[in-house]
C-alpha cells in the first residue's frame, strides 16, 4: 500500500518544517509527501526549499495563488496529483507523533476512513517547539505529565496505545471529533465523493461535510485515538464569520443522501495557475 501524506500549509513554514521533520523520520520509499500550499508568500516558499529535511520518499510542493481561505481547493489539488492508494491529510501546524505513520498504516482498512485525534498545545510550548528547544515526538512521559500539569497541553491519552480495533468504529455519522488535520481515506473513496467541497466559504465544517458524504457512500468511521495523535501548535483563532452558514449547510445535507461534492475534484480548473516543485 502506497500512502500519500498531504500536508496543508499557508505562510507558516516554521511550523511546517517541524511537521516535515517528524514525517521524514517515519516515511519509507513506498510513501510520498505532498505539501498543499494555499498560496504562501515567496519568502515562505524559499524557506521551505532551503530547509526541507531529507526524505527517503518523494516530496512535492503543490502551490496555487493566494485568493483567500481555500483549504479545500489546496487539498483537492494535492490529492489530484497524488500517486498513493491511500491519502492521509495533515495540517502544517500539526506535528505527528513518532508512530503516526505506522498506526495509520495499521488502521487503514477497506470500507473505512480514519479520523485521527490531536493534542492541543499552548502558546508557550509552541514557541519552544518552533525555536528548536523541544522535539515533541521524542519527549518523555515525564515531560508530558509536567506539560499537562502546567497547562501547556490539554491531554495525556497519547501516551497510551489502545488496541487496534476495540471501540474504534462508529457506524453512523457523528459530528464530534471530525478533523481534516489528521484524516486517512482510500483514494478511490475520496474520488468517489468528489473530494472536499470547495463551495464552502471561509473557515469551518468542510471536513464534516466530507465525512457525511463518505457515510452516505457506505463507509464507516474508525477513530484513531491513542494511536495517530498529532501535536497541534498554538495559533490565533481564525475568522469564523462563515461557520454558522457552513454548519447549517452540513445539517441540511444530513437529511439527504448526497455523495458528491458540488465543486470538487471533477471541477478542478487544470488550466489555472499551479506550480509543482519536486523537493526530493
pLDDT at 203: 81
Element (DSSP H or E) covering residue 59: strand 59-63
192, 74, 224, 231: CA torsion to nearest 10: 180
* pLDDT exceeds 80 at position 272: no
Cα 47 from Cα 222, distance rounded (Å):
36
Element (DSSP H or E) covering residue 244: helix 243-253
Task: Please give the DSSP secondary-structure letter assigned to residue 203.
Answer: S
Pairing of strands 86-91, 182-186: antiparallel
**Confidence tier at 176 by pLDDT (50, 70, 90):** confident
Torsion angles phi and psi, residue 233, rounded to 5: -70, 145
3 state DSSP class of 132: coil
Identify the structural domains of the chain with CATH numbers, from first to last. Answer: 3-272 (3.90.550.10)
In DSSP terms, 35 is beta-bridged to 7, 61
Pairing of strands 275-278, 169-170: unpaired
Q: For 5-50, what is each residue's pLDDT tens digit? A: 999 999 999 999 999 999 999 999 999 999 999 999 999 999 999 9
Q: For 229-266, what is each residue's pLDDT tens digit? A: 999 999 988 777 778 999 999 999 999 999 999 999 99
* pLDDT exceeds 80 at position 160: yes
Closest CA to 73 of 254, 230, 247, 261: 261
C-alpha cell at 258: 448526497
Q: For 47-94, what is each residue's pLDDT tens digit? A: 999 999 999 999 999 999 998 889 999 999 999 999 999 999 999 999
pLDDT at 278: 94
Q: For the whole model, what pTM was predicted?
A: 0.96
Amino acid at each position: 500500500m502506497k500512502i500519500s501524506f498531504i500536508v496543508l500549509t499557508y505562510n507558516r513554514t516554521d511550523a511546517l518544517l517541524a511537521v516535515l521533520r517528524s514525517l521524514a523520520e517515519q516515511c519509507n520509499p513506498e510513501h510520498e509527501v505532498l505539501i498543499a500550499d494555499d498560496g504562501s508568500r515567496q519568502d515562505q516558499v524559499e524557506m521551505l526549499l532551503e530547509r526541507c529535511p531529507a526524505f527517503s520518499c518523494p516530496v512535492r510542493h503543490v502551490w496555487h495563488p493566494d485568493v483567500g481561505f481555500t483549504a479545500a481547493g489546496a487539498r483537492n489539488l494535492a490529492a489530484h496529483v497524488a500517486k498513493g492508494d491511500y491519502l492521509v491529510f495533515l495540517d502544517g501546524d500539526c506535528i505527528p507523533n513518532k508512530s503516526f505513520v505506522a498506526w495509520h498504516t495499521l488502521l487503514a482498512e477497506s470500507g473505512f476512513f480514519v479520523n485521527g485525534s490531536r493534542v492541543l498545545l499552548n502558546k508557550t510550548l509552541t514557541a519552544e517547539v518552533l525555536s528548536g528547544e523541544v522535539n515533541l515526538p521524542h519527549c518523555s512521559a515525564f515531560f508530558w505529565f509536567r506539560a499537562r500539569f502546567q497547562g501547556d497541553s490539554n491531554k495525556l491519552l497519547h501516551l497510551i496505545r489502545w488496541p487496534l480495533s476495540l471501540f474504534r468504529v462508529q457506524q453512523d455519522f457523528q459530528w464530534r471529533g471530525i478533523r481534516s488535520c489528521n484524516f486517512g481515506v482510500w483514494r478511490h473513496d475520496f474520488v468517489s465523493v468528489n473530494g472536499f467541497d470547495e463551495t464552502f466559504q471561509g473557515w469551518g465544517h468542510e471536513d464534516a461535510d466530507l465525512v457525511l458524504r463518505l457515510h452516505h457512500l457506505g463507509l464507516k468511521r474508525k477513530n484513531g485515538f491513542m494511536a495517530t495523535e498529532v501535536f497541534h501548535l498554538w495559533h490565533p483563532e481564525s475568522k469564523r464569520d462563515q461557520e454558522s452558514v457552513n454548519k447549517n449547510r452540513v445539517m441540511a445535507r444530513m437529511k439527504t443522501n448526497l455523495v458528491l461534492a458540488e465543486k470538487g475534484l471533477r471541477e478542478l480548473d487544470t488550466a489555472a495557475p499551479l506550480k509543482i516543485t519536486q523537493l526530493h
